[in-house]
Amino acid sequence: MSLDLTGRRWFVVGALGINQILAWGSSYYLTTVLAKPVAADTGWSLTWVVGGFTIGLLAAGAASPRIGREIDRRGGRPVLALGAALIAAGQAGLGLAPSLPAFLAAWVLLGVGMGAGLYDAAFAALGRLYGQQSRGAITTLTLYGGFASTVCWPLSALLVEWLGWRGTCLTYAAVNLLIVLPLAFALPREERRAPPPKRAPAGGAGGAPGAPEPHGTIVYVMLALCITLSGVISAVVSVFLLNFLEARGVALAAAVGLAALVGPSQVGARVVEMVAGRGLHPVWTMVLSTLLVAGGLAVLLAGLPLIAAGLIAYGAGVGIRSIARGTLPMALFGPVGYATLMGRLGSPAMFAQALAPAAGAWLLEWGGTAATLAALEGLALLNVFAALSLVPAARRSAGS
């Protein structure tokens, strides 16, 4: 007997949304608040403390393909639950770490937990549950995820003040065990099974429902490039945005206020996409995302006075990129093997995001703000080309 998954959709998405807020906030966004307190308390180098996060992303990238295959084999419920347990174990390891090597080893656990418990795994679970009808669920989930930093940065700061950084990590370990883990188990046990795959023409785009093995096709390569470039750009900008603004003559207090526009712009753009973009192929969401990011960076590079408008455009592009990342692979390649595909696509993106801040720091030191922004704009324009190259395949997959 099959479950009525449609009737439970809002419950499933709501439970997974709260799961994502807490999972992101207690892992990916953790270093932003804890890095300096950890270094000050332990005497460990700030570079190594922040490097733990890089190690975590590398571990997530290495685990991502296997995680996708396991979701295809077993469903999202057990994998997301494992992600919550690993994040909790990693948090406990951080909080109890007696030395820097132990601290870095805990980040390996935490990183694998991120690979199994964050967006890519959640998107894959929703894709397995709802197939071609998963777009609305994925979009709604990104709305929840947009509040992760809003909720958890102040919470982390408050916990550090009350309990210290070790107590904060142990508290988050408890949160993942007592809240995030049960929410993962709230997903339905029975998930939709994809039909047996049909072979696609060699080298074809493999539209939905066609190509079970897109790996290696030109469309797959361009999609992976688009997702990876987007991750590199956002990783560098998120770390150095204040530096970019101050180099343009903006005072620190004003720079912080301007940077704060990015978050609400992400959420606002997702709401607009959910309402206005429902009938459009996800490729146009990806194209618009790359254009907005390129336009926003161009404003910063040119030193135009409309910095606020540029940051709003950039934030909107980053916001709807999350939707395109979850929905475009499904639209291009269909539901067969979707979780495995998401794992493969996520791996290079994770590796690139792990290394991008270090590369950005080197470029900023070597060439200054102008050279760094010019490089980012070049990557953004290349990303526009990569997104546009997917349009013909999207038209074929839509049958037009």
Nearest-10 crossing angle of helices 338-388, 307-333: 130
pLDDT category, 213, cuts 50, 70, 90? low
- Where do we find the tokens 């009350």? 162
User: Could you tell me the fold of the domain covering 9-185?
Assistant: Growth Hormone; Chain: A; (1.20.1250)
Q: Which pLDDT does position 398 carry in this prediction?
A: 67
pLDDT band for position 358 (cuts 50, 70, 90): confident
Over residues 129-159, the pLDDT tens digits come to 887 788 888 888 988 887 887 788 888 889 9
> Comparing 108 with 11, which gets the higher pLDDT?
108
Dump the DSSP string for 87-110: HHHHHHHHHH--SHHHHHHHHHHH
Q: Give the pLDDT score at 215.
A: 53
Tokens of 242: 């204040």
Question: How many whole angstroms separate alpha carbon 95 and alpha carbon 91?
Answer: 6
What confidence score (pLDDT) does residue 208 get?
42
Provide the percentage of residues in the chain whose pLDDT is more than 70. Answer: 90
Model confidence at 335: pLDDT above 80: yes
| Mean pLDDT (whole number) for 332-342 | 87
Rounded Cα gap, residues 166 and 124, in angstroms: 33
Say how many C-beta atoms besides its own lie within 10 A of residue 193's C-beta: 10
pLDDT of residue 98: 95
Burial environment of residue 154 by CB neighbours within 10 A (0 to 12, 13 to 18, 19 or more): exposed
Q: What's the confidence (pLDDT) of residue 151?
A: 83
Cβ(343)–Cβ(68) under 8 Å? yes
Q: Strand (E) positions, the chain?
A: none
Q: How far apart are the first and last CA of the chain?
A: 37
Higher pLDDT residue, 288 or 192? 288
**Residue 352, number of CB atoms within 10 A of its CB:** 20
DSSP string, 258-310: HHTTHHHHHHHHHHHHHHHSTTS-HHHHHHHHHHHHHHHHHHHHHT-S-HHHH
pLDDT per residue as tens digits for the range 60-70: 999 999 998 88
Lowest mean pLDDT among 186-190, 250-254, 288-292: 186-190
Query: Tell me, what's the pLDDT at 18?
Result: 92
Tokens 């146009």 -> residue: 284
Mean predicted confidence (pLDDT) in 194-200: 42
Between 372 and 303, the higher pLDDT residue: 372
Comma-separated ranges of CATH 1.20.1250.20 domains in the chain: 9-185, 218-397
Q: Which CATH architecture has domain 218-397?
A: Up-down Bundle (1.20)
